[in-house]
Chain A
């Protein structure tokens, strides 16, 4: 499918949420239908000059090749007998690593730093219960987080094999598979933090104390709760400046994935964890019943609920990943490129790495995300900088979906030393942003208002699985000031909003030397606070600006491709009713359905999984193409059910929430054949697909 076809769908739609009198599910469904019923006829809103072309941030082949000019990806060969489901990594002296795998093994890795790496794996120990992280213990040995234990592991006789496994802390578990424990993250005092995820039984639960909490444990096993409200966040980092940041995955009570600054007492959003806030040691007084389930923008709820923490950075769903995992700070002193002091996180679903800049404004951490590098061979979950400034990438996605071709692996990324043309950092100003660049910009391109676009949106907060981007607004750009040296540009922007992501589009910018566009356009900056200081746009002008969002298109419920209402010609039940469900691990429960050509049938799609899915029926052999096109829909994907506007799509459901279902009234194609059906939620189509076999009508 041609990209241009998708692009038609993209111009700035507006979504409102929480219509009075709607049931929760009803409100959600209504939102999903708020896409453009006639996308070809609308005009882009004023000032949104590049909205048509700049929302596609999933990495294309061409993009991956461009990135490879600056950063080199070195897949590390894995010896026979090693299953590299790498779940944790620690770099240790003498150019070695120690890695944990989900199969419970710990391997020393030598030779991974070579130019033509042929790593040698030496087993340190085995038999652990799904370890998901490792740190060096200051007193010698290693801390490893197993599913039900924080363990101190040592080789006391020095023979290269672990021989002492001391329980530091018995991790509370109920036995549910989703009770992941992440860490160990060492504090400056030598304590160990662990992040305990919720159980999943049709809904997320905290069945035993401290699930959904961050705990700090001393080496002797004394415990202090730090923060609550976790759901399924698989990464955390202590910055060189001493601040804790935590990555969470989109889902219930997390409208999108996010990065939060963690301080003792914070409640991050998932109310299940508050079941234990009455226990001695709790650092919050919030109770589950204090948390309203409204779906209103998180920032509005957080204003009402003291202790509910706003994320430092909203990660725009599907644009900059779908499932953040490990996060690291670039402390390489420039050996990895021009991003010293910034952060990188691994996204397993999109098998890519996203860059993050953070700054503190009025005491509040906030910042932006930028695309960095895609095309990894397997779902990336763990990142660690080596002593030469290269980045080791641990990969495993067993049981969880991804766009990557392999299920597990181990790679290394090395900066080639030549300077890419990138947004080095977007920083907040009293009246807009300053974009810093890694190379001088071409003045003519940079001085043009038309080189930029800014729009903002945020996410709802409630028990629904994820939120569409809501309250979208175009932010007029009033002024552009290019720095003397061409290394930065200041944008004067109206209608900035606290608690909102601001999509800063930069497609018109060119490099002064080569005239090339940026390696990655666009920054997504979450504003929590705006600084005081010099303005380039007078305050009066900002106060006078009309920041009313566009009126949304009317919602529609049923379309020819999304026939949820029984057509008049339909017989009472149709010729048959087909029930299709989901199976764990991003699958449909049936991969072959059969209908007669031209017959009428009802398809009931029920989602019993814990994540969102849809059903998209495509022309024969076109399922993956449609899946890829959906991947490119960016921020508009969710508002359009992740269904590309394409002739390759015959029918589709809405995005179906966990536990929900939808019924379609369908007429089978007249031409017999094997028609693909896929789930087009980003990353799903490759594993979540099946065949609708249309049999000749007369047999």
Chain B
């Protein structure tokens, strides 16, 4: 099934809570070679006797949070495409641009402005959903991982759920700058990556800076920036636009990293190849919407 890859919508509110995570669950444990399990298939259906979500909460019980002073990283399950991202967080900035981040893929799940997050399903009563959600008007991104390797250039970009099990990707942790701004750290094979996504001071957009250390692997390594049925660019290559969603990507004109458009079958993708020459330089771009 081809889903629109970038689209704006309100959070799903009618999903049964506690739905089992679909897809593939790969438990990779152990750097010493102690590896449990392998592939454990989970059937994609609700559990037997799964209940409907409880009735909606009275409005006065809602827990709506804004951000003051420090950047706020809130770990939670994140609703996405009618399912849950189980290892994620929302990051709220007092400057006004916020995003949801998937620690299993390094991907930005959604971006929004205004009030920060609805934490009712995280903090009210038993918190059956355990989710943090944008209060309104989020732009929902695709769920594909930030990184991919292609032994051959023509292969399709991996789909989201498969990627959670991508053995090359491993989340290490995050550090906080003095104002609470997180820098997510993960490994992609032998590459150590620092991913910093911060609100611009006026809240107009998010600037992402990705720093690399370690070594490139032998295959071609790509970063996915954006995806859409159509992608247009300004003549000098300093701005890319996804008309479907209105997402705009500002690209520094002096950057050594040069994005390319590749055809993923049903969609176009803005991707950046990593090379030994460009690895030294942080990759940086700004998202506005």
Determine, out of B6-14, B21-29, B246-254, the stretch whose residues face the partner at the interface. B21-29
Task: Tell yes or no: B111 within 8 A of A by CB.
Answer: no
Q: Is the CB of B20 within 8 A of A130?
A: no
| Chain A 72-94: CB-based contact to B (< 8 A → 1; otherwise 0) | 00000000000000000000000
Distance of A584 Cα from B54 Cα, bound (Å): 8
Q: Is the CB of B31 within 8 A of A222?
A: yes
Task: Tell yes or no: A117 within 8 A of B by CB.
Answer: no
Q: Using A159-B178, A209-B36 as known contacts, say yes or no to A148 and B87 having CB atoms under 8 A apart.
A: yes
Cβ contacts under 8 Å, A170 to chain B: 87, 171
Q: Is the CB of B20 within 8 A of A149?
A: no
Distance of A207 Cα from B40 Cα, bound (Å): 10
Q: Is the CB of B176 within 8 A of A162?
A: yes
Task: Tell yes or no: B76 within 8 A of A by CB.
Answer: yes
Cβ contacts under 8 Å, B101 to chain A: none
Cβ contacts under 8 Å, B123 to chain A: 102-103
Q: Is the CB of B36 within 8 A of A166?
A: no
Q: Which of B18, B30, B176, B178 contacts A175 (CB 8 A)?
A: B18
Cβ contacts under 8 Å, A281 to chain B: 34, 36
Q: Which of B21, B46, B178 contacts A208 (CB 8 A)?
A: B21
Distance of A165 Cα from B122 Cα, bound (Å): 20
Task: Tell yes or no: B163 within 8 A of A by CB.
Answer: no
B54 to chain A, nearest CB (A): 5
Cβ contacts under 8 Å, A199 to chain B: 18, 47
Q: Is the CB of B25 within 8 A of A177?
A: no
Q: Is the CB of B21 within 8 A of A129?
A: no
Q: Is the CB of B74 within 8 A of A104?
A: yes
B66 to chain A, nearest CB (A): 14
| Chain A 591-609: CB-based contact to B (< 8 A → 1; otherwise 0) | 0000000000000000010
Q: Which of A165, A202, A221 contacts B174 (CB 8 A)?
A: A165
Task: Tell yes or no: B129 within 8 A of A by CB.
Answer: yes
B77 to chain A, nearest CB (A): 6
Q: Is the CB of B130 within 8 A of A161?
A: no
Minimal Cβ-Cβ distance residue in A for B52: A608
Q: Using A166-B172, A202-B50, A398-B125 as known contacts, say yes or no to A175 and B20 having CB atoms under 8 A apart.
A: yes
> Which of A126, A127, A128, A203 has the most CB atoms of chain B within a 10 A radius of its CB?
A127
Task: Tell yes or no: B266 within 8 A of A by CB.
Answer: no
Task: Tell yes or no: B84 within 8 A of A by CB.
Answer: yes
B44 to chain A, nearest CB (A): 12
Task: Tell yes or no: B156 within 8 A of A by CB.
Answer: no
Secondary structure dominating the interface of B = loop
Cβ contacts under 8 Å, B48 to chain A: 201-203
Minimal Cβ-Cβ distance residue in B for A162: B176
Q: Is the CB of A175 within 8 A of B130?
A: yes
Minimal Cβ-Cβ distance residue in A for B49: A202
Q: Is the CB of B176 within 8 A of A209?
A: no
A668 to chain B, nearest CB (A): 28
Cβ contacts under 8 Å, B21 to chain A: 173-175, 207-208
Cβ contacts under 8 Å, A151 to chain B: 173
Q: Is the CB of B72 within 8 A of A129?
A: no
Q: Using A203-B48, A208-B21 as known contacts, say yes or no to A161 and B126 having CB atoms under 8 A apart.
A: no
A202 to chain B, nearest CB (A): 3
Q: Is the CB of B18 within 8 A of A209?
A: no
Minimal Cβ-Cβ distance residue in B for A159: B178
Task: Tell yes or no: A146 within 8 A of B by CB.
Answer: yes
Cβ contacts under 8 Å, A583 to chain B: 54-55
Q: Is the CB of B50 within 8 A of A221?
A: no
Q: Is the CB of A104 within 8 A of B72?
A: no
Cβ contacts under 8 Å, A585 to chain B: 125-126
Q: Is the CB of A164 within 8 A of B47?
A: no
Cβ contacts under 8 Å, B54 to chain A: 583-584
Q: Using A177-B17, A201-B47, A202-B48 as known contacts, say yes or no to A172 and B76 having CB atoms under 8 A apart.
A: no
Cβ contacts under 8 Å, A208 to chain B: 21, 25, 40, 42
Could you tell me how many residues of chain A have their Cβ less than 8 Å away from some Cβ of chain B? Answer: 56
| Chain B 38-78: CB-based contact to A (< 8 A → 1; otherwise 0) | 00101000111111001100000000000000001111110
Q: Is the CB of B50 within 8 A of A177?
A: no
Task: Tell yes or no: A122 within 8 A of B by CB.
Answer: no
Q: Using A129-B76, A175-B130, A201-B18 as known contacts, say yes or no to A161 and B37 having CB atoms under 8 A apart.
A: no
B132 to chain A, nearest CB (A): 9
Q: Which of chain A's residues 177-213 have a Cβ closer than 8 Å to chain B?
A: 177, 199-203, 205, 207-209
Q: Which of B36, B126, B172 contacts A177 (CB 8 A)?
A: B126
Distance of A146 Cα from B37 Cα, bound (Å): 23
Cβ contacts under 8 Å, A399 to chain B: 125-127
Task: Tell yes or no: B175 within 8 A of A by CB.
Answer: yes
Distance of A281 Cα from B75 Cα, bound (Å): 30
B281 to chain A, nearest CB (A): 26
Cβ contacts under 8 Å, B29 to chain A: 221-223
Q: Which of chain B's residues 170-222 have a Cβ closer than 8 Å to chain A?
A: 171-178
Q: Is the CB of B34 within 8 A of A584?
A: no
Q: Using A127-B73, A203-B48 as known contacts, say yes or no to A177 and B128 having CB atoms under 8 A apart.
A: yes
Task: Tell yes or no: A220 within 8 A of B by CB.
Answer: yes
Q: Which of A104, A125, A398 contacts B126 (CB 8 A)?
A: A398
Task: Tell yes or no: A538 within 8 A of B by CB.
Answer: no
A80 to chain B, nearest CB (A): 16
Cβ contacts under 8 Å, A152 to chain B: 173
Distance of A148 Cα from B87 Cα, bound (Å): 7
Distance of A175 Cα from B75 Cα, bound (Å): 13
Q: Which of chain B's residues 117-175 have a Cβ closer than 8 Å to chain A?
A: 122-123, 125-130, 171-175
Distance of A151 Cα from B103 Cα, bound (Å): 13
B45 to chain A, nearest CB (A): 12
B247 to chain A, nearest CB (A): 26
Minimal Cβ-Cβ distance residue in B for A103: B123
Q: Is the CB of A128 within 8 A of B37?
A: no
Distance of A650 Cα from B73 Cα, bound (Å): 54
Cβ contacts under 8 Å, A174 to chain B: 18, 20-21, 86
Minimal Cβ-Cβ distance residue in A for B34: A222
Q: Which of B36, B50, B129 contacts A280 (CB 8 A)?
A: B36
Cβ contacts under 8 Å, A149 to chain B: 75, 87
B123 to chain A, nearest CB (A): 6
Task: Tell yes or no: B19 within 8 A of A by CB.
Answer: yes
Minimal Cβ-Cβ distance residue in A for B35: A280
Q: Is the CB of A177 within 8 A of B127?
A: yes
Distance of A179 Cα from B27 Cα, bound (Å): 17
Distance of A288 Cα from B129 Cα, bound (Å): 28
Q: Which of chain B's residues 76-91 have a Cβ closer than 8 Å to chain A?
A: 76-77, 84, 86-87, 89
Q: Is the CB of B178 within 8 A of A223?
A: no
Cβ contacts under 8 Å, B75 to chain A: 104, 127-129, 146-149
B40 to chain A, nearest CB (A): 6
Q: Which of B30, B46, B74, B125 contacts A223 (CB 8 A)?
A: B30
Minimal Cβ-Cβ distance residue in B for A177: B128
Q: Is the CB of B42 within 8 A of A207?
A: yes
Minimal Cβ-Cβ distance residue in A for B87: A148
Q: Is the CB of A201 within 8 A of B51?
A: yes
Task: Tell yes or no: A163 within 8 A of B by CB.
Answer: yes
Task: Tell yes or no: A400 within 8 A of B by CB.
Answer: yes
Task: Tell yes or no: A176 within 8 A of B by CB.
Answer: yes
Chain B residues engaging chain A, CB cutoff 8 angstroms:
17-21, 25, 27, 29-32, 34-37, 40, 42, 46-51, 54-55, 72-77, 84, 86-87, 89, 122-123, 125-130, 171-178
Q: 3 closest Cβ contacts across the A-B interface?
A: A202-B49, A399-B126, A129-B75
Q: List 27 A-B contacts (CB under 8 A).
A: A104-B75, A127-B72, A129-B75, A130-B122, A146-B75, A148-B75, A148-B77, A149-B75, A151-B173, A163-B176, A164-B173, A167-B171, A172-B25, A172-B27, A173-B21, A175-B19, A175-B84, A177-B17, A177-B130, A201-B48, A208-B40, A220-B31, A280-B37, A281-B36, A399-B127, A584-B125, A585-B125
Chain A residues engaging chain B, CB cutoff 8 angstroms:
102-104, 125-130, 146-149, 151-152, 156-157, 159, 161-167, 170, 172-177, 199-203, 205, 207-209, 220-223, 279-281, 398-400, 583-585, 608, 659
Apart from A103-B123, A174-B18, A279-B36, list 5 A-B contacts with CB within 8 A.
Answer: A129-B77, A159-B178, A164-B173, A165-B175, A203-B48
